[in-house]
Amino acid sequence: MPEKIHKFDTKVQHLKYKVLREVARAAFNDNLLENITEIPKIIVPGPKPSMRCCIYKERAIVGERIKLAMGGDKSNPNVIEVIDIACDECPVSGYEITMDCRGCIAHHCEDACKKGAIFSDEHQKAHIDTSKCVNCGACAKACPYSAIRRRTRPC
C-alpha cells in the first residue's frame, strides 16, 4: 500500500494554500473584487468550525488572509504582518514563574526585580504582577533553580 503523502505540515499551512488558491482563481477569472466576500464562505462553508470557536471568526480570519494575499498593508514597515483577530487568544510574550519554583528562602528573584513586580504567596512561591513587570529578565537570571522562563509567542 503506498505511503500517504502529507502536502501540508499543519492546518494553518493548508488554510494559507486554500486562500491563495481561491484568490488566484478569482484574479485569473478577473472577478476578485466581486468575490472577495464570498471566498471566506467557500473556504469555511460551515456549519461547524474546524479550528476556532465559530465559523464567523474563521471567516473573519480568512478575510484578513485574503487582504494579505492581495499584497497586505503597504504602509506597514514590518516584515511580518500580525492578524490581530487570529492572535488574540495567544498569550503575549513575557516572563513567568513556573512550577519549578521551590519557594526558596533567599527569594533572589524578588531582590533582583527593581520594579517590585514579584510577590510571594502563603507557600512562599513567587508570582509576577504583570502590571508592574517590564520584562527585563533579571529575575530569571537570579533564580538558582531556573524556575522563571521567558514565554514567547510561537510565531
Q: What residues make contact with ligand SF4 under the rule CB under 6 A? A: 95, 97, 101-104, 107-109, 112-113, 115, 117-118, 126, 128, 133-139, 143, 145, 147-148
We find the least distance from the C-beta atom of residue 92 to ligand SF4, in angstroms, to be 13
CA-to-CA separations, 116 to 110, 129, 145, 154, in angstroms, rounded = 7, 8, 20, 28
CB-CB neighbours of 112 under 10 Å: 17
Of 79 and 99, which CB lies nearer to ligand SF4 in the complex structure? Answer: 99
CA distance 39 to 19: 8
Query: Nearest 5 degrees, angle CA 69-CA 72-CA 73?
Result: 175
Q: Between 35 and 120, whose beta carbon lies closer to ligand SF4?
A: 120
> Based on CB atoms, which residue is closest to ligand SF4, 19 or 101?
101
Closest distance to ligand SF4 from the beta carbon of 88 (Å): 23
- Nearer of residues 92 and 134 to ligand SF4, judged by Cβ: 134
Residue 86, all three cell numbers: 487570529
- Among residues 115, 112, 148, the alpha carbon closest in space to that of 132 is found at 115
Least distance from C-beta 100 to ligand SF4, angstroms?
7
